[in-house]
A = this chain, B = another copy of it.
Amino acid sequence: MAEGTRPTPKTGRSLLYLTDEQLRRGIEAMFFAYRGFTADPDRILEEHGYGRAHHRTLHFIHRAPGTTVNNLLSILGVTKQSLNRVLRTLITDGLVESRVGTQDKRERHLYLTETGSELERQLSDAQRERMRAAYRAAGPEAVAGFRQVLEAMMDPDIRRHFNRLSDGGA
């Protein structure tokens, strides 16, 4: 893992796409693309005095209405204190509603209000538009490859989450 520069691979089949140089390009592409990916929502969030954490929270509550705080925690991968701060402002501002669980009254089930749905839609419209343009420019086969590489890059636990979410929403 630290043997320095890797020359042209010795394998028969072309493994050019696995050279350090190609990998470095992929890394930089990921870095720059993520900036574009978040740029549009960031602008909208700024107008409302919110940050990316608020966006993520709205997104996943929209995705799974009625989800519990604990569930949200494991998806977002942050501490409850961190999530709670964001969640509190969203509840105070009337974008998210927290309902005590009927079966387990310790749990809080989270829902977007009208206002919350409105902002979520604004944010996801902007982000989807960027994604749509990229998808259209690259074409369906590129998109399939894009998805495959991204999925392979996730941590296994997260990949399970991801696939569970994808199945649920299909």
A residues at B contact (CB < 8 Å): 1-2, 14, 16-18, 20-37, 39, 56, 63, 77, 121-122, 124-155, 158-159, 161-162, 165-166, 169-170
Contacts and interface: CB of A to CB of B under 8 A. Distances in A.
Nearest to A30: B37
A148 to B, nearest CB: 4
Closest 9 CB pairs of A and B: A145-B145, A142-B145, A134-B152, A33-B150, A146-B149, A137-B152, A138-B148, A134-B153, A142-B148
A136 B132 CA distance: 27
Given A28-B165, A143-B17, A36 B136 contact: no
Given A32-B161, A77-B35, A155-B39, A26 B149 contact: no
